Amino acid sequence: MKELIDRLYEMEQLSREEWKMLLSHRSEETDQYARSLADEVRQKVYGNDIYVRGLIEFTNYCRNDCYYCGIRRSNKNAQRYRLTEDEILFCCQQGYELGFRTFVLQGGEDSYYTDDKMVGLIHKIKEKYPDCALTLSVGEKSEKTYSAYREAGADRYLLRHETADPAHYGKLHPDSMSCENRKNCLRVLKKLGFQTGAGFMVGSPYQTVDDLVEDFIFLKELNPEMVGIGPFIAHQDTPFREEKSGTLEDTLFYLALLRLMLPQVLLPATTALGTIHPKGRELGVKSGANVVMPNLSPVSVRKKYMLYDGKICTGDEAAECRHCLSRRMEMIGCRIVSDRGDYKSK
């Protein structure tokens, strides 16, 4: 297995069979090998700098019904909210004062936010904070809509593909959603010049090694600027309430493989990873991650943006999260920088 890891490090393409070998013959030793090599690559490309993104969860209304997600349309127990424009701008202001230079607007697919409203909001944020990057994560839209967002000044877009295998995709989503459409959205986003983020959940129900092989092959081909992966964690009010979570070990190994396969990629150590293990995010960074995404949403709505059970940091003010993460990163020899943290192309 070490040989395959070395070949990834040398930037060679692995075949489907080789990916399958690498992903199915796991051992403590090869895991550690991949993770320390990935840690080296992260340092070589990004030094000890860790980028922060201020996450603003601005609406939990959603027209979709993904089986894993706590804010799915059918969850009648979710208390729905949307932030006003002023509230969103206030989050940005607080974030700016705390040194954030990227804001991420994430939400459900909420038709209240028409193209006009989104464009207006993007303009306002970019006008007030011209030195900041703006990332959107609001799901699947038409090319026309993505293009309007881009023209208004949005810089980046996060849209996890969730799983690259159509049959697996069908087990996680209702028939109204399709793997092909999601992948196509990602291609459109790249074409429009967004720094684009794809990604998948680790250990989602029914995920097989073959599905993961497809994820890595899809990501290699798409070559996104960002990849978000984190463990699946059940939410009590979803059809997957009884399913078990993705593991720390798997997530760290896949983070490492992603760093080796896409050396420049912006790779977050996610909140979900921090939720399944108290040192999850630190371990993520030591396995190749170079981004953290603390929450800037008002504390009053934090608990309502529950994608999965047990989400951490839902009671903390933005400043607490920011300082807590600084300390955590310093403990492992890294430092959070006040920088847009753009993709470093070679």
Q: Could you list the residues that contact ligand SAH (CB under 6 A)?
A: 68-69, 106, 108-109, 137-139, 159-160, 162, 201, 230, 232-233, 235, 272, 307-308
Return the number of the residue (1 or 312) whose C-beta is nearest ligand SAH.
312
> Shortest approach of ligand SAH to residue 267 CB, angstroms?
15
Min. distance of Cβ 162 from ligand SAH in angstroms? Answer: 6
Shortest approach of ligand SAH to residue 315 CB, angstroms? 20
Distance CA 60, CA 164 (A): 25
3-state secondary structure of 283: helix
Residue closer to ligand SAH by CB (options 58, 129) is 58
Read off the tokens for 117: 């409203």
Query: DSSP readout, 186-218?
Result: HHHHHHTT-EEEE-BEET-TT--HHHHHHHHHH
Residue 126: C-alpha distances to residues 67, 92, 202, 237, 343 (Å): 35, 11, 34, 37, 19
282, two tokens: 């630190």
d(CA 338, CA 317): 19
Which of 251/287 has CB closer to ligand SAH? 251
Minimum CB distance to ligand SAH, residue 204 (Å): 8
Nearer to ligand SAH, 106 or 326 (CB): 106
Q: Which is nearer to ligand SAH, 46 or 68 (CB)?
A: 68
Which tokens in the block code for residue 124? 């306002």
d(C-alpha 241, C-alpha 68), whole Å: 8
Of 251 and 326, which CB lies nearer to ligand SAH in the complex structure?
Answer: 251
Least spacing, CB of residue 258 vs ligand SAH, in Å: 15
Measured CA to CA, the distance from residue 154 to residue 145 in angstroms comes to 12
Min dist CB 36 to ligand SAH, Å, is 26
Residue 119 is encoded by which pair of tokens? 């464009």
